[in-house]
A and B are shown apart, each in its own frame.
Chain A
Amino acid sequence: MPYANQPNIEVTELSNDLMKFVLWDTDLSVANSLRRVFMAEVPTIAIDWVQIETNTSVLHDEFIAHRMGLIPFLSDYHVEKMQYTRECECAEFCDECSIPFILQMKCKDEATLAVTTADLRCMNNDTVIVCSKKVVTILACFQTVRPACGKALRERGTGREDFHNREEILIVKLRKGQELNLKAYAKKGFGKEHAKWNPTCGVAFEYDPDNALRHTIYPNVEEWPRSDHSALPEDSTEKEAPFDQDGKPNKFFFSIEGTGALPVQRIVTMGIGILKKKLEELNMALSLELQAHAQQQ
């Protein structure tokens, strides 16, 4: 196979929310492992620890904590600088591995008050003004790690313009006298641990749009909707390409949609990076193992 080591890629559509590309001259296993890595192993930042001080709202504590966890955070500036908590040297939380937030809301009016992601404040945002280099970088992160919705998302640039009414994510509604007061830590994690760290909301690829390989059988070809990637001529009466007996999946039409936590091109680059890192680690482990064997003999 002459092309086995030279995959090609062509990006057909790109925005912060959606990316489409065509990958060809590679194997199905490579395409699928990319898809799996995008979903399960690209890290993002999400709230993982909530301490509720006061909650007199109608939703109970676990309920709110779970909702907090599902809020996507803009992770692109900071996630790679962050440590996983389990790999961090600190005992509980430190600036390396966690970002503290507080939410303090009380409804004092007759009208119901909607508590949204806009009310979530980074905790030491205004308190820490110490002139050390480290703190300055932390400050920067506090400005960049924000809920991925509304203003923050628009500033980064989004393809969608149609949800300005409710652009901030609703957490809970309070009526007069009710109060919500909590502290939360956002942490780095990836989709395998919990779906809230999954940066994608729809990853798919398609190969063989005209079913030349007959991997699948259309019971009635006529009623089958035509694929967007079809290579058959527009006016062709044939719905399927002729059977290619020796063909193998070769060209993959990828489509990736992001949650907003990461711009989609970052998901792809980071995903490929992670895959690469995994192989490197494997290589490293193998060489150590081989060394050990050599020493034994």
Chain B
Amino acid sequence: MDCDIASYHVSSFDFLVTEGCQFAAQAVPAEKFRLKNGDAVTMKFTSAQLHKPTLDNGAKLTSDTLPLYPAECRQRGLTYAGNLKVGIDVHVNGTRLDIIETILGKVPIMLRSEGCNLRGMSRKELVAAGEEPIEKGGYFIVNGSEKVIRLLIANRRNFPIAIIRKTFKEKGKLFSEFGVMMRSVKENHTAVMMTLHYLDTGTMQLALQFRREIFYVPLMYVVKALTNKNDAVIMAGFKRGRNQDQFFSSCVLNMLAQCQEEGILHQESAIRAIGSRFRVAIADRIAPWEDDLEAGKFIIRECVLVHLDSDEEKFYMLAYMAQKLIALIKGECAPETPDNPQFQEASVSGHILLLILRERMENIIGVVRRKLEFMSSRKDFILTSSAILKALGNHTGGEITRGMAYFLATGNLVTRVGLALQQESGFSVIAERINQLRFVSHFRAIHRGAFFMEMRTTDVRKLRPEAWGFICPVHTPDGAPCGLLNHVTASCRIVTHLSDNSSIPSMLAELGMYTQKTVSLAPPGEELYPVLMDGRYIGYVPIAKAASIERYLRCAKVANDARIPYTTEIALVRRSTDIKNIQTQYPGIYILTDPGRLIRPVRNLAMDSVEHIGTFEQVYLSVVLDPEEAEPGVTMHQELHPSCLFSFAGNLIPFPDHNQSPRNVYQCQMGKQTMGTAVHSWHSRADNKMYRLQFPQQPMLKLEAYEKYEMDEYPLGTNACVAVISYTGYDMEDAMTINKASYQRGFAHGTVIKVERINLVTDRERKTIFYKNPREDMKTVSADGLPIPGRRYFLDEVYYVTFNMETGDFRSHKFHYAEPAYCGMVRIVEQSESGSGAQHALIQWRIERNPIIGDKFASRHGQKGINSFLWPIESLPFSETGMVPDIIFNPHGFPSRMTIGMMIESMAGKAAATHGENYDASPFVFNEDKTAINHFGELLTKAGYNYYGNETFYSGVDGRQMEMQIFFGIVYYQRLRHMIADKFQVRATGPIDPITHQPVKGRKKGGGIRFGEMERDAIIAHGTSFVLQDRLLNCSDRDVAYACRRCGSLLSVLMSSKAGAHLMKKKRSDNEPLDYTESQRCRTCDKDDQVYLLQVPRVFRYLTAELAAMNVKIKLGIEHPSKVTGS
């Protein structure tokens, strides 16, 4: 439990840099095609290397290129990326043409990884490079913003899971609900899903996946394609270990017979049969000159158990899967579910990126092929290295550079093949630096997948016992992502590198394991357990020896035996003692060494050293907290620390074991919204918005984890004297009054720091610079056209001036924040695309945010409250020693929330303050025999206080003693970032909608708050109809309009003069005087005798007009007011 925030992210990226990209390059299948001139061309990547980020434009690598540092990327808005250099091997007609070395593009580099310039830097060097002194890396910088790829849960690789799922029945005719699913993953992290289904006819079908499409093939087709053994040998292979099972034998026989009937007699015919079925789907992977046999082999290689290389191993594995499926059907083996952490692993950033990188490389070579095919249609075309480079040339920018940056910037995955990842978006998130807790949580977050967000069932969200020690039970948000977005515990690690497991089989063989070759020598009748290693069926172990073998392996693992990696999981799943009534998992010895697994350290009691255990093996281990609880002969492990089950945030709650658990959940969320110390390198940051607490303190009560996480580097709260008392009436419903004098002396003072980026270079405009007209006198702008550091700017003050060098125009820009802000720092940064001059500036604004009424505060126990009053010190209650509280907390906050931890913190804080020490607030230190209250109560008594921390208080207003003793102590309070200054919304009059004339909505636009239906109902219920009219009509869109009573229309009345009507008449005597008096006249009735002025809502007039456009007429029934009032 040290301050190891992002180690798995960094080491997974190290894997990508050191081995991964080489694997990826080699895993890209060769591109085979025939040019128009008949040349058969084969292209294949041979090597790939990632270089450290440099300040070049990607073309050349020379010794004098300058390294690029992350701080520069953040400020200039660049992507921190290094060049990817590859070698492409080109064969023409079977002879090598050339190995082309070229740069394919830029790949974003994770900070502090092997490919990063910060690698290995000391604290001092990091500070000099503009980084945080304890920068741990683990994230990327894309276009200036920091991005993290969250951990994503996937099904455990190379492990067949027995599933009963209703939807399996819908897969096809006769399909049953039983299946065995397996996610096979190669060492380059490409994954293929495969499911073995049971059909009600007693046969099995294999569901294969190729590029997101699923194909069903009878199991025996694939089995036959894998081996050229005869049916009897196949039968024996399948039955081994389940000899007594008649039902299974008949199933296998049945399937074999079916094959015979369908003419699949030997290996080649089976492969051909598969090949012909898939030919169409894999057309672009199979050269035109290759036949069905090749196609079939390709399918076997790329879709069936891809983690295994040899056909023989695949055969054994399929046999195992078939056996497990039968056991499931017969109810001998318990169904498993991928929602269980036992069958899960995590995709780490480096692994995800590797997959994308590989696909991009595949795409590039595919495009080169198409280009070459096109180019070869020219007559004089000869394939040369330069022709290939030409075809490659345009790609240095797009596919890799832009593609990878796009993935990180948006989190969206653009892919053709699907990459066996469950989702297409939401991979990356911004690593916000609101405070250290928030920042760290991004690296520790583990997401179940976007798919499950919409799922109605709550099964996936459940906290399962298997998650103990790996996933924090309290650190999950409440609401929609509850239980789906979890956080791994502080001690949890993830295996990122491939480990060498090659000597495990021989080691097992020495211990008495029968391999697949030697199993026939086993004495007949001896009962055997299968042995699986990383989805490889390596042999059998006699049941009698299994336990000792498991022990031996574990000892070797703990003793750092070179043959067995320290991350290995060894699990012995025993046979059920009562096979009819008690279901177990499918028995066997399972050895897991794959990357992506979650592991955590525990103490091995037998060896007295630290052992890393995984989620699968943990289920079969007995891990105790207290050595006295150990069960002899069974227990081998002990937790390193009682708080091993908590995450980073959970480990910072004082006395969490005394709180009601949802309160701890809330605190995990609130800790992440606290104003504190976001960063130390303010001068080299360009974050949009950051919060800073002016006088942060270290808490009086620290946990063990507090020191280990170096939280003192980034403190996020203040110790406050809290009196639990209902005093002013301003502390109802979670409101809290704050001592005005404390506030004036700096309690919870804070600043919001915003950095505004002004980039004058746009696509069209490149000739504008910051410059002030020297002849113009402008006090608010300095001579360079930029704001003056240290000056306070108010709304609508000119803060920067630009000069267009082509037109010679000056343009001044006005300050647009409603709140005044101090200009902190002005930085000019280089804009690479354009020429010279100051064109890109970063302006840091400081906005004072000292506590006011409406700001949010919280203790560390999920007890949040709003400041409701800054109460004068002389009117606050005082104790006999003259102490006055900083915060008044309402006692009603306690009974229903049961945050006893906060009460203990208050007592302990008071004791700590009087004794001048920091006390420990770790969980599980106290128990029923030795209570926390007694411990701290005694300390308080020693300091001369009341045992419980109560004190006699006097009213500050009239000096009387209070009837009750007041609970008074010191609690660490956090100021949350939700501040009233960002949220208040008020208006008397303001902007209105141009069409409806109703007030607009939205705080930013100065709009109003909706007076909705429910509010309307309340007014109606009160019977206050004038209020209703005032709210909904007079203060909204009251309008007046003329309507004709005769035809009931609002639209037909128009202003017209009588003269117009006269002129229309054909017969008109010349001397008749024209009447120019105007009147409101109905044009349909051509009369004005019944036109009245009405008060209507504007939106009603709009509705009438809209309906008229659809040929719908609104006819109003209008009564004369005299008639209405009478009735």
Contacts and interface: CB of A to CB of B under 8 A. Distances in A.
B743 to A, nearest CB: 8
Contacts of A61: 790, 822
Contacts of A29: 958-959
A39 interface: yes
A39 B878 CA distance: 12
Contacts, number: 103
A129 to B, nearest CB: 34
B759 to A, nearest CB: 25
B741 interface: yes
A224 B946 contact: yes
Given A70-B745, A224-B946, A217 B963 contact: yes
Interface in B717-750: 740-742, 744-746, 749
Contacts of B963: 215-217
Interface stretch (A77-85, A202-210, A278-286): A202-210
A198 B873 contact: yes
B873 A39 contact: yes
A52 interface: yes
Given A39-B874, A60-B846, A32 B964 contact: no
A195 B873 contact: yes
A192 B872 contact: yes
A41 to B, nearest CB: 9
B882 A203 contact: yes
A223 B944 CA distance: 11
Contacts of A194: 744
A204 B878 CA distance: 7
Contacts of A249: 959-960
A205 B959 contact: yes
Given A62-B846, A223-B947, A204 B965 contact: no
Interface in A183-217: 191-192, 194-196, 198, 202-208, 213, 215-217
A257 interface: yes
B790 A36 contact: no
A215 B961 CA distance: 6
Contacts of A219: 965
Given A62-B848, A216-B964, A202 B883 contact: yes
B824 interface: yes
Contacts of A36: 874-875, 956
Interface in B856-893: 872-875, 878-883
B880 A28 contact: no
Give the residue among A191, A195, A219 with the most B Cβ atoms within 10 A. Answer: A195
Contacts of B744: 194-196
B741 A35 contact: no
A247 interface: no
A3 interface: no
Contact of A28 (B846, B945, B948, B958): B958
Nearest to A27: B959
Interface in B700-723: none
Contacts of A261: none
Nearest to A253: B880
Nearest to B680: A58
A31 interface: yes
Interface in B954-978: 954, 956-965
Contacts of B883: 202, 204
Contacts of A156: none
A192 B873 CA distance: 9
B954 A225 contact: no
A50 to B, nearest CB: 12
A202 B958 contact: no
Contact of A225 (B751, B946, B960, B962): B946
Interface in A26-80: 28-29, 31-32, 35-36, 39-40, 52, 55, 60-63, 66, 70
A255 interface: yes
B724 to A, nearest CB: 15
A194 B882 CA distance: 19
B745 A196 contact: yes
Contact of B822 (A60, A196, A206): A60
B660 interface: no
Contact of B965 (A192, A206, A218): A218
Interface string A81-116: 000000000000000000000000000000000000
Interface in B669-722: 694
Contacts of B941: 223, 225
B337 interface: no
A215 B878 CA distance: 15
Contacts of B875: 36
Contacts of B848: 62
Nearest to A217: B963
Interface in B788-812: 790
A208 B880 CA distance: 11
A204 B958 contact: no
B1033 to A, nearest CB: 47
A208 B961 contact: yes
Contacts of A205: 954, 959
A198 to B, nearest CB: 6
A8 interface: no
Contacts of B751: 60, 62
A66 B946 contact: no
B952 interface: yes
A66 B964 contact: no
A256 B878 CA distance: 13
Contact of B746 (A70, A224, A227): A70
Contacts of A227: 880
Contact of B740 (A60, A195, A224, A256): A195
B874 A204 contact: no
A254 B187 CA distance: 79
B874 A255 contact: no
A215 B740 contact: no
B696 to A, nearest CB: 13
B959 A32 contact: yes
A31 B955 CA distance: 12
A202 to B, nearest CB: 3
Nearest to B745: A195
Contacts of A257: 882
A215 B965 contact: no
Nearest to A37: B874
Contact of B741 (A28, A195, A204, A206): A195
A35 B874 CA distance: 8
Nearest to B743: A195
Nearest to A202: B882
Nearest to A30: B959
A107 B790 CA distance: 20
A105 B954 CA distance: 46
Given A204-B881, A205-B959, A225 B740 contact: no
| Residue in B875, B952, B957, B962 whose Cβ sees the most chain A Cβ within 10 Å | B952
**Among the interface residues B878, B947, B948, B959, which one has the most CB atoms of the partner chain A within 10 A?**
B959
A59 to B, nearest CB: 9
A32 B958 contact: yes
A243 B956 CA distance: 25
A219 B966 CA distance: 12
A28 B959 contact: yes
Given A215-B960, A224-B946, A66 B746 contact: yes
9 contacts: A28-B958, A66-B694, A70-B746, A192-B874, A195-B744, A202-B883, A204-B878, A216-B963, A257-B882
Interface of B: 694, 740-742, 744-746, 749, 751, 790, 822, 824, 846, 848, 872-875, 878-883, 941, 944-948, 952, 954, 956-965
Given A63-B694, A192-B872, 6 more contacts: A35-B874, A194-B744, A216-B964, A216-B965, A217-B963, A223-B948
Interface of A: 28-29, 31-32, 35-36, 39-40, 52, 55, 60-63, 66, 70, 191-192, 194-196, 198, 202-208, 213, 215-219, 223-225, 227, 249, 255-257
8 nearest A-B pairs in the assembled complex, by CB-CB distance: A32-B959, A202-B882, A204-B882, A195-B741, A215-B961, A195-B744, A36-B874, A40-B874
